[in-house]
Every structure is written in C-alpha cells, then in structure tokens.
Amino acid sequence: MLEERYKLVMDRILGIRKAPGLPEPFGSCFEGMAAFVFRLNEVYSAVKEGRLNEMSIDALKSLNDELYKDITGKAYGQSHLNPGYMASLAAKAGCDEMLLEYLCFLACELRGLIPYAFEGKKEILTIYFELFVEVYCIFDSAASEGRGILPEGEEIRQCIYWFERDNCEIVLTDRIGEQLDPLCDFATRIVMDSDLEDLRYLYLYGEYITGAETELALFLNGMSQEEIDDMARTYTEGYRIGFEKTGKDLGRKKTVNIRYPIGFERMIRAAIVQFREMGLEPVIYRAGSLSLTGKGVKKTGYYGANPNKQYDYDHREDAGIYLDKDYVNRRLDVLRAAYEDNRELAAVHAGPAVVEAFGEEPFAPKECRAAITLSKKQRELSVENADRTGRLVNEYIKGDERSFTIIAYPKPYIGKDFDKIFRETVKLNNLDYKKYEAMQQIMIDVLDKVSYVRVAGMNGNETEMIVALNELNDPEHETNFENCVADVNIPVGEVFTSPRLKGTSGLLHSPVIYLGGLKYVDLRLEFSAGEIVKYSCGNFDDDALNKKYIEDNLLFHHKTLPLGEFAIGTNTTAYRMARDFKIEQLLPVLIGEKTGPHFAVGDTCYSYEEDLKSYNPDGKAIVARSNDYSDLRDTEPEKAYFHCHTDITVPFDELEGVYAVMMDGEQTAIIENGLFVLKGLEELNGPLISGNDV
C-alpha cells in the first residue's frame, strides 16, 4: 500500500514539474518544489539501492551543495524559502500575501525532508509529498474553475492545519522512537562502521557539510588513539560521576543519548565503547528538521553546519499556521501514546551526554516582518504545551533518576589558532578539580553565613543586583551552595545556589552578550521579588521589536521568569584563554559561565530533583534546591516549572565586585575590581594578572 501511494504521488508530481499550469509567481514556486522533491527521490533511491555509499567524495560534496544551495549565501535573498522575498512577490503580483507565506512554509517543510531521504523513511516522505500535491490541486482547481484564479489563503491554511494535526502521530511517534530505541541506529552505524579516514562518511548523514567539518575530522584523525580515548574518558567519566555524586543508580540504566556536532566521530566512537563498558547503549538522533520536530536556531541532537541561521530564525515560529488548543491536546495524546508504547525503554534511559562546539561567529538576526509569528494566544498555548510536555516526559524518564554531562570543544571556524585553542581546551577540560574544590569550599563557608550577595558591574556594565539567600536551619550539616567541579558540567568550576526570590532585586545588565546562539546588545533585565519586571535591549531601532526579541528568545513567551540560579564562576584559566586568543564572544555558555558570576533566568538547576538528597565533598547537604515556584510541584504542577534556564554572565573585566553581606550589614568582598580578594583564593588570580594557569 505504501509503495503504491509513493509511486502515485511521484507520478503526480512529475506532471506538476513539467507543466505547473499556474500564473506567476505560483507556477515557478510549484515547479521549483517539484524539482526538489524529485532530487529527494533520487537520494532515497540511491540509499535503497546502496549507490550512495559508492559515490566519490566529489560527487557527494556536489550533491550536498546542491541540496542546500538555495538557502546559502546570497541565494537566500531570492529563494522561495525566504518569507521576505515571497512577500515581495505577492506585492508585485497584487495577490494575498498569505498564499505565498504558506507556500514558503511548504517549501521549508520539503527541505526538512532531506534527512528522511538519507535515512530511507518512505512513509514520512510520502505524507509530505501528498501534502504538496494536495496544496497544488487546490490552486489548480481554483484556476480551472475560474474562481478568481487563486484560492483563498484560509483554504490553504486549513489544508496545512489538518495535515499537521492528523499526521503528527506518524512524525512524532517516529521521533520518540529515535530518542529512546538504540535499534534506531542510523547515526550509530555511521560512527561505528565507517572508515573514519575516508571522509565520505561525513556526507552520509544528509546534513550540511563545510570545510569546518572536514578539517575537524582530519584534525582528530591526526591525534593518537590515547589522546582520543582521554578526551572521551573525560566526557564519559563526567557522566558516570554525575550519577555517583547524586546517589542515582546508573546500574539500572541501559541507554545514553549522545549529542554532537558532525566531525567529532572519532571521539564519539571511543565514547560509545566506554559507555558500553558501563552497560549503556547509545541512542543518537539528529536535530529536528521539520516544524513538528522542533526545527530552529538551537540544535538538539546531532547536526552538521548551519547553512543559514537567518533562514532558521525566519521559520522558528512556523507552527503559527496550525497551533491551537485542539492541536496541542492532539499532540500530547500522541506523545503519551508513544511514550506508553516505549515505557520500558524510557525507564532505562539515563539522559543526554552532550558535546558542544564553539568558534562560529555569533549570529545577530534581522527581523523579517513577513515571517510567520505566533499570536498572543498562541504564545500562551506554546507555554502550556512546553509545560505539559515537560511534565509528561518526566513521568516516563524521571528527573530524579536521570543525569547528563556536557563538554565543549572548538571547531575550525574559530580561526587560524584552531589547533592551539583545541589543545588548550583539552587542558581546560582536565584541570585539577581538587584545587578548585578546596578554593570553592572557602567561598561557600563564607556565603553560608550571609543574608544576601551584592553584585556590581563596571567598565560599561551597569549591573547592580541583590541576591537573597535561603536561611539555613542547621548550618553545621547544611549548605546553600553546590561545590561544582567537573562532572556533569565540564570544565570546572563554580559554586551555585537557588536564590530566595523574596528580597532578590536589581538590574542585570550586559553591554553585549550571546545567549542561545543569538546576540543581545545592551540587554537590561530588572528584577523585583526575584522576578523579571522590566526588560529591554538595543538590537533593533524599534523598541517593540526589541521587546519581542526578548520575549521570543529569552522569556520563551512567559510573562516573566524568576532568577533560578546564582553562581560564582572560578575558572580564571578559561577567562585567560579567551582573552589571549581574543575569542571571548565565541565561548559557549558552558565555558563562559565559569568566567565570572552568573545569573540564570528560568528554572533552578534542580528541576524535578528537589526532593533528591545530594552533598558537597565536606558532607553537608545541599538544601537550597527549590523556590516559590517549584514548591508548587505537588499542589499546582502547571505553575512549578518554566522549562528553560538561560545563564547570563558578568565577566571579570566588567565586574566591580561580589560582596557577601551579613544580617547586620557587614560585608565581605569575595571579588573586587575583577580579582578574587577572599583569603585563600589568591591562586585564582594568576591567570587574571599574569596569565599563569591555576
């Protein structure tokens, strides 16, 4: 039946490709999409017949370039995938802009099928090809019946709406299987079975590949096996120790989700071997490429180069076409059924082990007024959907039973010093955590005696924050701060807590900062009672666009967010590395947050783990695990979590000071004028003053 459907839809698309029979610009839009579908069909056939593996590296590169050519470089400016360009075509044709906006969405969804063609997933290819034909037939019918030549925009939207609603069961069920079942091993087989010296393997994923990925793979191929194993061991041991430190039983788990940028396969292969020694099989899935699977600027899974971040940004809210209450309920029903079918796999899933890459020039998006955006009601639904989805996932993959680890390395686009920066990062990831542990304990001993912490900026940073701390009932056996070295969160080091919201207030300011892959200029967040009450930035000339930018990408459509974490980073070696190589703006949050005090808006670091007991090396129980919101987890769970956590760092060279303030107002400086001044922390200043490592 599926074979017959696939043949029928391809025959119909052949007719569209040869003679679309529609007025411009619609005829060329459909003709271009039809040609792209046939290219996908050629890829699918090559995969099924085993011809893809036999292609030369030049042929594979040519295919890769062709599949992504209309969204790379200047081509995107006049691409049918660009909502701004499509709006200009609508204006010239004097037609309903929404018609071309919906065709832009359709073209984007077809592009999202590239991975499915490489994976040979015929059913998903078939249903999207059928959607393409259905939309075309609506246009063709309108033209043949003479109903003003063109259909109504709402007719096209309804077609897309019912497709997304009806077929989310197929797409999302497939997605959950990829996320839980080690037998869904498309990427695992590439990593484990390929000759990694033969760089043709990079093109077998179906992801966009550039010189950065090939150069990275060549660089890793030049390292000794011992070096590779050591890199992998830092990563896998961090994962194991994360379970050990929190008293979670790794022995009950059977799978680990591995996430990485393409090019790291040699390290990932070594990590898979090491995870298997722990009894864990890899589950590796790619970053979402369809609207239903969460495509966007931020990538979760494995991924290649990004051909065009503006393209991703323009289409980040494409769900605005179909997002409504009925869809949200339908989606959640589908997810619950999928998790129920995979209940046993979910119960033994240990959580993610993430490799991040850094070095790419940060992205400052342009606002496209023609792009699909969520309405106010849809934003509220988006928040509700995220909350209900998060709670649903936690039912099957319990937060107090899973863990994670995350580590970062540079990629070649960081510049001419890539080799040196890579090797410095390897050293950074392996710093002597015992030294940091001891010095951080000195800080914690002071911080556990204070009422609040004051953080003040300088050198253009106007931060002036008061962070209230929880009162300890048993100071001899309890602590507010976690002494964080290098396990789940590599590299060392920081001390962090969940602040008391009442009494926390002030301005958090960043002249320039990069969060979630996006640039913020003059970011200002004002807090009262531990919540954001006012926000602004200077990315755009229009204040309304600036506000929307923050609402979309930092607040994630919530009306406000609490301060979920306050931390003091201690990795001055990372700070020095960044300054020496002039890559401050290129560091990932994972490393950047360790280069000064930082504040996280959103959930605490202990979401869904509030009742789990954990201890610092000195034996004290970490008790500041919750706040006024997460305290509602049993009585009003829908209000307990925000399902986001964004770290905002004040770097040492923008830091006037961090002051611990006692109940009587007496204060002790921990950092002053960008240097640690608390007795016992002098060694941390070496990299800040002379460049000597700790």
Tens digit of each residue's pLDDT (9 = 90 or more) over 155-165: 999 999 999 99
Report residue 690's pLDDT band, with 50, 70 and 90 as the boundaries.
low
pLDDT at 486: 74
| Secondary structure (3-state) at 265 | helix
pLDDT at 249: 95
- The answer to whether the beta carbons of residues 364 and 309 sit under 8 Å apart is no
User: Distance between CA atoms of 277 and 79, rounded to whole angstroms?
Assistant: 49
567 - beta bridge partners? 496, 598
Q: Is 596 exposed, middle or buried (0-12, 13-18, 19+ CB in 10 A)?
A: buried
pLDDT at 639: 94
pLDDT at 147: 55
pLDDT > 70 fraction of the chain, expressed in percent and rounded? 99
Average pLDDT, the chain: 94
User: Distance between CA atoms of 153 and 95, rounded to whole angstroms?
Assistant: 10
Residue ranges of alpha helices (H) inside 19-121 are 26-48, 57-68, 83-93, 97-111, 114-119
Mean pLDDT of 595-614: 93
Output the 3-class SS for 595-636.
Answer: CCEEEEEECCCCCCCCCCCCECCCCCEECCCCCCCHHHCCCC
pLDDT at 363: 86
pLDDT at 584: 87
* DSSP label of 524: E
pLDDT at 488: 80
Cis peptide before 25 (omega within 30 of 0): yes
Tell me the pLDDT tens digit for each residue of 638-650: 999 999 999 999 9
CA dihedral over 104, 73, 69, 549, signed as positive or negative: negative
- The answer to whether the beta carbons of residues 36 and 112 sit under 8 Å apart is no
CA dihedral over 465, 468, 567, 498, signed as positive or negative: negative
pLDDT at 229: 97
Mean pLDDT of 243-270: 96
Cis peptide before 73 (omega within 30 of 0): no
Report residue 691's pLDDT band, with 50, 70 and 90 as the boundaries.
low
Where is 544: in which H helix or E strand? Answer: helix 543-553
Residue ranges of alpha helices (H) inside 397-489 are 418-428, 433-447
pLDDT at 94: 87
User: Distance between CA atoms of 294 and 283, rounded to whole angstroms?
Assistant: 18
Report residue 471's pLDDT band, with 50, 70 and 90 as the boundaries.
very high
Residue ranges of alpha helices (H) inside 181-224 are 186-193, 211-221
pLDDT > 90 fraction of the chain, expressed in percent and rounded? 87
pTM above 0.75, yes or no: yes
Tell me the pLDDT tens digit for each residue of 287-338: 999 999 988 778 999 999 999 999 999 999 999 999 999 999 999 999 999 9
Beta strands, E only, 592-637: 597-602, 621-622
Mean pLDDT of 212-241: 96
Tell me: pLDDT of 356 over 80: yes
Tell me the pLDDT tens digit for each residue of 184-195: 999 999 999 999
Report residue 20's pLDDT band, with 50, 70 and 90 as the boundaries.
low
655 - beta bridge partners? 457
Tell me: pLDDT of 347 over 70: yes
Residue with tokens 């300890």: 472
pLDDT at 590: 87
User: 401, 125, 406: which is closest to 260 by C-alpha?
Assistant: 406
User: Distance between CA atoms of 633 and 611, rounded to whole angstroms?
Assistant: 11
Mean pLDDT of 413-440: 93
Tell me: pLDDT of 694 over 70: no
Mean pLDDT of 430-440: 91
Mean pLDDT of 466-470: 96
Mean pLDDT of 84-112: 94
pLDDT at 245: 86
Report residue 19's pLDDT band, with 50, 70 and 90 as the boundaries.
low
- For the sheet containing 494-497, what is the strand order? 482-484, 494-497, 563-569, 597-602, 645-649
